[in-house]
Chain A
Amino acid sequence: MRRNTKFLGLLMAGMMGVLAACGNASGEAEYPNGNIEIVAPATPGGGWDTTARGIQNTLDENGLVEENMNVSNKPGGGGEVGWQYLAQQDSHAISINSSLLLTNNLLGQSELTHEDFTPLATLATEWISVAVPADSDIENGIDMLDRLKEDPTSLNIAVGPALGNNDHLSFVSVADEYGVDVSQLEFMIYESGGDVLTALLGGHVDVATMALSESLEQHLNGEIEIIATTADKPIPEDESIPSWQDQGIDYTFPHWRGIMGPADMTDEEIAYWNDTFSQMVETEEWGTLLENQGWDDFYLDHEGSVEFLEEQDQMYEELLDTAGMTE
């Protein structure tokens, strides 16, 4: 009997040892150990969707992720629906994010914020431009601000698709800095960047604030004129495009996109993605993707992104306050 117990004890200890070893081995080497789901909080074909599919493609082609990856679309509520979904998944789901993650919360439209997720990387930025029709008599950024300072309702400003987005906020904060009464500004809100461009080309608005990638082509063709950008360096396609900095206003504004996972990811899981994304941004495919979309590389790893989101959150709070959009 005694012998038996001892034997059993030994056996169990041995088995546990083996199990523990297995556990260790599989745990460390095997995250991810299932399908990776990339959540695009948008309909197929939109900006977030193409980013998600671009990431999937780049990771796959370069063998950076061996597991199966699939993109799932969860559109609605400016990202809210997709992020609600992500919050309920395990660490095998990741999602694209942007400043809407912060502003939805600050505007009281969402309970979720950056602290409810694990930021994994910040990937790219694009700059925002202010453009006028080619035959406009507005000469430059300062000329426009002077007019608005004198009479904030003198110009119709096109923006899309919603107030509180980066195009809107960056415009308001420059104007505010210059001393314009921003609460009086007359914005016309169009459904998409394409509609903003159409309105500008047709001369139905005086000014438009929109992504540089959306306005650049028409500017190069002489159909519209970009009078200011939020960039911190010259635009390679046309170095004569002035930034706000060039015009004496110390203002830059990156419109970033990043990627995050659900809350409470382990250090090991975070390390895996740090490693994966740092390699991804070096690949040729990623470079082409950035170039095609008109984006700039803006890679930050997990630690960098956590810090960056914290800073951005404070900045947006002030911005929305300036724009008079917080309660």
Chain B
Amino acid sequence: MGIDWNSFLEGLTTALRFENLLFIIIGGFLGTVVGMLPGLGAATAVAVLIPITFGMDPTSALILMGAIYYGSMYGGSRSSILVNTPGDASSIAATFDGYPMTRKGQAGQALTLATLASLIGGFFAIIGMMFLTEPLSSFALQFGPAEYFFLLLFTLSAVVSLSRGNLIKGFISMFLGLMMTTVGVDSQSGVYRYTFDIPHLSDGVDFLIIIIGIYAVGEVFYNLLNIKNEDLKVKSDVGKVWITKEQWKRMLGPAIRQGPVGFLIGILPGAGGSIASMISYSTEQQISKNRDEFGKGAPEGLAAPESSNNAAGVGAFIPLLTMGIPGSGTTAVILGALIMLGMQPGPMLFENQPEIAWTFINSLFIGNIVLVIINLALVGALIKILKTPSKILYPIILVLGFIGAYTLGYNIIDFYILIIFGLLGLAMKLLDIPPAPLILAVIIGSSLEQNFRMANVRYDSFMDILTASPIAMVFAALTILSIFLPKILNYLAKPKV
């Protein structure tokens, strides 16, 4: 299918109608704010809005929900950069180099850089969505249990390999995370594992609570212990808002390269922004000239995951619009709302109601630009957060963390879990164990296990799983490479005497 210019133009005009523009702006702003708060993600924001969309024109409702979703992608990295507390799973990678930039007194530039990288990623993804929607949705269907298993395995190994020079600690962190994902009902057998007869635990521990616990609460605990330690003080000099020419040059390559990568991963149902941003970060680290600066505030290290994450967010709409299959938690909520409004996303959408699909794609495009303006305008206000004294800032983070945890399950058991993970986060910080492998393992661990077990039902032996398809083989090879390539390169680079 080529691009249908008539529907495209019609969509553009509808998206530019006054009320729809208003929805893009309101949704984008709301999403940015919600995205910044730990635990409160796009899914919650969209769900809370569902009653408001009753009786709304389905196209406008879709635009509003899309804008919130998209806004939260932009917002999520704000708190990662400023206070080392990711707003959601997909902005964890933004802490790796975003927070060090803040520590160096470049908070304003980090925020601007992340925004521009998001714009670039989103731009590529929207272009991809316009021209390649159909071939790409059939690409997504090629992923069966074997392919998913190796993709997920590769993601884990990519993140573990980030803890250079200290692989053991990376593995410890990963295994802790994998252990946590065994809590809850095992889907393949229906057996209850480690639920201690608490019904709330039967669905496992929500990974967002673990993120809030380890990052936000752990960070606050750590700072409480070191409240008088001047070394830890973030420089209150927040630097310039606009980025330098050199930073621009360094971010452009990664942002352009990782946009398409994130987009492709985003299309796969169930993969999404957290996997995309981690893979992008670790690939850039492997290929960058400034490899050693990664983790210490390298512009490349912030641009890559941000571009990728944003592109993945757009990609997640492809299975939703073309097959009626939600690729992420938020798109699942959006699907539910659209069905309530009498719209059926799926193979018939582009045929029967192309104007709705194209209006939406155009609204994403406009939304991207609107969000850059909103976010750049907010940079000045946001960096003031850093001037807030720790005694005020940390209690606020703690309260927001608890509110976020409550909205996930509406159950106070989550408070205890949150504190336990806060203490774990503190212990890991003191022992210098990186948290990212743990978090990623928590996010993808159960899918990794379930896909492996389904692959075992479908194929007769491990060799058959490995050779199930070229995709599976490529990811298996990448897994091994990501662990051993740095070692081999180091070995080769050693001057031979």
Please list the residues of chain A having a beta carbon within 8 angstroms of any beta carbon in chain B. 43-47, 49-50, 53-54, 56-57, 72-78, 80-81, 84, 107, 109-110, 156, 161-164, 186, 188-192, 194-195, 197-199, 201-205, 217-218, 220-221, 223, 288-289, 291-293, 325
Contact = CB atoms under 8 A, between A and B. Distances in A.
A292 B342 contact: yes
Interface string B26-50: 0000000000000000011011101
B336 A45 contact: yes
A74 B199 contact: no
Contact of A325 (B140, B190, B270, B454): B190
A197 B325 contact: yes
B299 interface: no
A128 B227 CA distance: 60
A73 B346 CA distance: 28
A29 B411 CA distance: 35
B347 A74 contact: no
A217 to B, nearest CB: 4
Nearest to B199: A77
10 contacts: A53-B54, A74-B411, A81-B199, A109-B202, A191-B450, A194-B326, A194-B332, A195-B325, A203-B144, A292-B340
A44 B48 contact: yes
A44 B333 contact: yes
A54 B190 CA distance: 31
A49 B46 CA distance: 13
Nearest to A222: B347
A163 B342 contact: no
B225 to A, nearest CB: 34
Contact of A198 (B46, B323, B411): B323
B457 interface: yes
Contact of A202 (B143, B337, B411): B143
Given A45-B46, A198-B319, 8 more contacts: A46-B336, A76-B202, A190-B187, A198-B323, A202-B144, A217-B324, A220-B348, A292-B339
Contacts of A163: 187, 189-190
Contacts of A189: 187-188, 450, 454
A57 B144 contact: no
Interface string B407-418: 001110000000
B139 to A, nearest CB: 10
B45 to A, nearest CB: 10
Contacts of A80: 199, 202
B458 interface: yes
Contacts of A190: 187
Contacts of B200: 76-77, 81
A77 B324 CA distance: 26
A84 B199 contact: yes
A54 B53 CA distance: 12
Contact of B336 (A47, A110, A217): A47
B141 A201 contact: yes
B454 A77 contact: no
A198 to B, nearest CB: 5
Nearest to B144: A204
Contact of B192 (A109, A161, A223): A109
Nearest to A204: B144
A45 B203 contact: no
B145 interface: yes
B344 interface: yes
A202 B450 CA distance: 18
Interface string B133-156: 000000011111100000000000
Interface string B310-334: 0000000001000111100000110
Given A45-B336, A156-B458, A198-B269, A288 B342 contact: yes
B43 A45 contact: yes
B44 A194 contact: no
A56 B50 CA distance: 12
B187 A162 contact: yes
Nearest to A108: B192
Contacts of B2: none
B141 A198 contact: yes
B495 interface: no
B51 interface: yes
A188 B457 contact: yes
Given A161-B187, A217-B348, A45 B199 contact: no
Given A84-B199, A198-B269, A45 B450 contact: no
A72 B203 CA distance: 19
A172 to B, nearest CB: 13
Contacts of A203: 141, 144
Interface in B110-161: 140-145
Given A45-B336, A76-B203, A197 B190 contact: no
Contacts of B409: 75-76
A204 B190 contact: no
For A45, A78, A188, the residue with the greatest tally of chain B CB atoms inside 10 Å of its CB is A45
Contacts of B188: 188-189
Interface in B474-489: none
Nearest to B323: A201
A217 B51 contact: no
